[in-house]
Structure 1
């Protein structure tokens, strides 16, 4: 064989052994060569892959393999669904049950502000005598205090100890007229503030025996028809001895009440009674003296809360009949008292000016309890030098002021269920400390720790209901750092009131 023939035979052998080296056919003819299909797809040509037809799917679907697969997937789906449902049921059953919220009336949701001396609050005539229009002009200020209601007056016609010159349905001209009062009602309503009218008959005199129950009933109906949210009577201890009269007054306010428009009857008493009135304003704290010991406070409050039972209480120090809190409480305890009033169970009452520490005048006449409200510096100078650092204008600018402490407490009272209607537990420690816990269901807990001593005192609290640590919400001492503190052996500064909080733990 020639050399050329050998070369040709090797080429043939290679072609047979390695067909991949054969040149590909450029035509898309799906022809098979040497056992392989050679396909070349042009770059601009789209290849479409068509799935099985319906008939082909039906044939495959009924095969034993696919039938078993579908049943397995179906069983797994339902097992997973039932498992999730069972898990959710277990979580719901084991979760702590929420207590039903009590149905609260408007006066149970925050503080009530009492303007017992309208002539001393603010005036619009420039004659130095406060009037109804002056209260309306300050409605934004009252709204900033987060109060739920204001008690106005008495403002009706009355000459001291003269029954024939007393008319509960006519407004004394020095305060304005009925149109002024209705305008005030409208302005207060727009701010969500309820107006209660004081109808104490002989408010300019001293003879409380002139309290005519029938005249009072007519006056109540007259002003309830005008849209007031309640009626207040002061100095009614003798009237309360006749339960039929009180029951009739209650029926009158109930008859004018409807859902969302409840009317309240407020009775101011000097001695605690159990007559199931709508709301009792209690001056028990006013009887403790200027510097009571913690033990005295605990004893007095415990007794009153026990006597009241389910009856809703109102707390205040002083008032129209007694004067301003700053004149009844030692200055060092003033901020502590504000914390206590807003954290006790019940409604805190504020005498006008108590939010800034207003004091009674030094005169010995019957108006000594009605100092002028110092809105600005000039007014404070006219009222006396001791008011110059207590104007509303100045305290609004000072973050550490008594006014801003009051606003913070009032805001908490409105927002926190534990402080609004929670349970009350005294946590005893020692004779200088009054500590108590307010809690409601699964809401934030609040612990008030009040040092009545004029020295630093360590509060060794009963830890039965308390966690290891709590957060400082506020203190009567603005310098107290915020943040968490350990509840064991808390050291309080002299006369410090401390409000702490901690979360519910199941």
Structure 2
């Protein structure tokens, strides 16, 4: 077979499809077998500088996006706010009845004669009362009832002159001024004064119509006294007396500075006050001071005190009252009754020295007012103790660890979703509570205060145990409602 020579165009040629013998792409013998691709243009991915970013961000597209985003944010926020307002409005909440100042303040009975020659100084008893104003304010006292200011052995009594043994009128004027500066009101106690006794009156019932008594009361009202008190056992106590006193104090009533007429109930349930109480208490008397304990000249046992307390709590009405303890009780139970007075609905009235939590005759012990101050602060800040409803909680035999012991007592003050539970053990033995004694109560709460001031932190009603002669105040919350 003949071989192809140089003339044969197909022999030894590198020319292939798409290639030529010219210096072009089709015919160059020096072309690489692999042709690299063109490198990408790095300038396309170069980050923008500040000026470029500002130019882009200020464009119409971004402005429109941002405005819509802000609009959506505010619409969502307003929707949540409207939902919250609707929930609050639709949720049932108690409405507080406006209280007068005598329904909110803490009353303190004081006899200036107790300071006569206490320190063998030349300072008068009235001046020493002025010196105690800062102490009273530290206790939370807002009203001071001055007893024994007028002489009882003068017939008829001069209601414009105080007993000179206590101090002078200028000193008493200074006391009134100091009380106004300290925010303490003064009420003059006119109990045990024979206001009907006068030689020029053949008919004693006409004495109160005379202008002398009216002028005397008006004299003190002008000086800034906040009211007067009378006992239901006084000979002058009558509807006529209260009507005239009521008309007089109303002449001086101004907003935020009302004057009051109060009655101290010293007799039993058959007293003249109780006989006419529906009329007297609703229209003529602002405050009726009652004792928590029945009339007695000797100390009652723990069982008798518990029985008297239970009777009082079971019959407690919705009528506003004020409470005091004028009967002798054992020292270890005085703190228990202090807790009772400060947590019941009504106005607490304490006597001079009742705020002390330790016996006065124990010289080595330091007298303390810590319990009283704790109760005073609690009453001031807890709406349940001012506006709350009252519910007596009875115990059955299964709720007591020892059926022969003095039974515990309890009541509840409720306001909205907050409940203040007050427990008492007047006996000398500890008491463990059955968890089922009050199944409707919230199980969890926190200690507010106690007679021993040793109860702190959270508490479960299922594990609580009352010590002897102890009272405990516990704040309970309904589930999922913590305000």
TM-fit CA distance, 1:232: 1.6
TM-fit CA distance, 1:341: 1.0
Under a length normalisation based on structure 1, what TM-score does the superposition of the two structures give?
0.70
The answer to which structure has the higher helix fraction is 1
TM-fit CA distance, 1:475: 2.1
Does the Cα contact within 8 Å between 2:292 and 2:309 map onto a contact in 1?
Answer: no
Rounded Cα–Cα distance in structure 2 between residues aligned with 1:199 and 1:217: 13
Rounded Cα–Cα distance in structure 2 between residues aligned with 1:107 and 1:331: 29
Give the direction of change, closer, same or farther, for the CA distance of 1:84–1:223 in structure 2 (3 Å limit). same
Task: Kindly report the root-mean-square deviation, in angstroms, between the aligned alpha carbons of the 2 structures.
Answer: 4.4
Rounded Cα–Cα distance in structure 1 between residues aligned with 2:226 and 2:154: 28
2:306 aligns with: 294
Aligned with 1:434 (options 388, 403, 409): 409
Deviations 1:439-482 (A, max 9, x none): 2224x42111111222223344741441113322222234x442
Rounded Cα–Cα distance in structure 2 between residues aligned with 1:482 and 1:81: 40
1:202 aligns with: 193
Rounded Cα–Cα distance in structure 1 between residues aligned with 2:135 and 2:77: 58
Does the Cα contact within 8 Å between 1:161 and 1:204 map onto a contact in 2?
Answer: no
2:10 aligns with: none
Rounded Cα–Cα distance in structure 2 between residues aligned with 1:86 and 1:46: 42
1:104 aligns with: 99
Rounded Cα–Cα distance in structure 2 between residues aligned with 1:14 and 1:49: 46
- Match of 1:162, SS? coil
Give the direction of change, closer, same or farther, for the CA distance of 1:481–1:50 in structure 2 (3 Å limit). closer
- Match of 2:421, SS? strand
1:162 aligns with: 155
Q: Point out where structure 2 has 5 or more consecutive residues left out of the alignment.
A: 1-22, 397-405
Give the direction of change, closer, same or farther, for the CA distance of 1:121–1:445 in structure 2 (3 Å limit). farther
2:112 aligns with: 118
Structure 2 residue 185 is the aligned partner of structure 1 residue 219: no
Does the Cα contact within 8 Å between 1:110 and 1:420 map onto a contact in 2?
Answer: no
Larger-Rg structure? 2
1:499 aligns with: 473
Give the direction of change, closer, same or farther, for the CA distance of 1:75–1:280 in structure 2 (3 Å limit). closer
Does the Cα contact within 8 Å between 1:452 and 1:494 map onto a contact in 2?
Answer: yes
Deviations 1:254-310 (A, max 9, x none): 33122211212121112452221100111242526522242332213433x33xx43
Structure 2 residue 147 is the aligned partner of structure 1 residue 153: yes
Give the direction of change, closer, same or farther, for the CA distance of 1:210–1:13 in structure 2 (3 Å limit). farther
Q: Which shifted more, 98-107 or 143-152?
A: 98-107
1:408 aligns with: 374
Structure 2 residue 172 is the aligned partner of structure 1 residue 181: yes
- Match of 2:379, SS? helix
Structure 2 residue 367 is the aligned partner of structure 1 residue 395: yes
TM-fit CA distance, 1:174: 1.7
Structure 2 residue 322 is the aligned partner of structure 1 residue 314: yes
Give the direction of change, closer, same or farther, for the CA distance of 1:128–1:450 in structure 2 (3 Å limit). farther
Structure 2 residue 252 is the aligned partner of structure 1 residue 256: yes
- Match of 1:174, SS? coil
- Match of 2:355, SS? helix
- Match of 1:148, SS? strand
Aligned with 1:468 (options 443, 455, 460): 443
Q: Tell me the number of residue pairs that the alignment of Structure 1 and Structure 2 aligns.
A: 421
Rounded Cα–Cα distance in structure 1 between residues aligned with 2:66 and 2:184: 67
TM-fit CA distance, 1:237: 5.3
